A = this chain, B = another copy of it.
């Protein structure tokens, strides 16, 4: 199964690289469709999965029941707003050391952790009327 070039995949990857809001498959579909009017949703899903398997993008599961995708594969953490549902990058140091904390009293092998933070984003905070 040697990878063959595809304009659709290239376009999907390029679109993702231009976004920093971690779009869902459907958002990718809606947008890429403006360039490829009859790209199919299946193609979007297949390529997102392929790119994720290749490690070129990341699939984010932040508990809202929909997968989000991120072209920034460097190690970083995410924040999910409980009000508007937006997914933001957090500028914070790695907390890889929690793996060691978890490993201490565990008989299995810990390979990593998934962490995301939640709360209210800056924009939603601003919206709130001063009571």
Q: A47-74, CB under 8 A of B: which get 1 and which 0?
A: 0000000000000011100000000000
Within the oligomer, what is the number of copies of this chain? 2
Chain B residue numbers with a CB within 8 Å of A81 are: 108
B-contacting residues of A (Cβ < 8 Å)?
Answer: 61-63, 77, 79, 81-82, 88, 90-93, 95, 98-99, 101-102, 104-125
Please determine whether A122 and B107 come into contact, CB atoms closer than 8 angstroms.
yes
Chain B residue numbers with a CB within 8 Å of A121 are: 108
Chain B residue numbers with a CB within 8 Å of A118 are: 110-114
Please determine whether B119 and A108 come into contact, CB atoms closer than 8 angstroms.
yes
Please determine whether A101 and B93 come into contact, CB atoms closer than 8 angstroms.
yes
6 A-B residue contacts at CB 8 Å? Answer: A63-B114, A95-B95, A106-B122, A110-B119, A112-B119, A114-B114
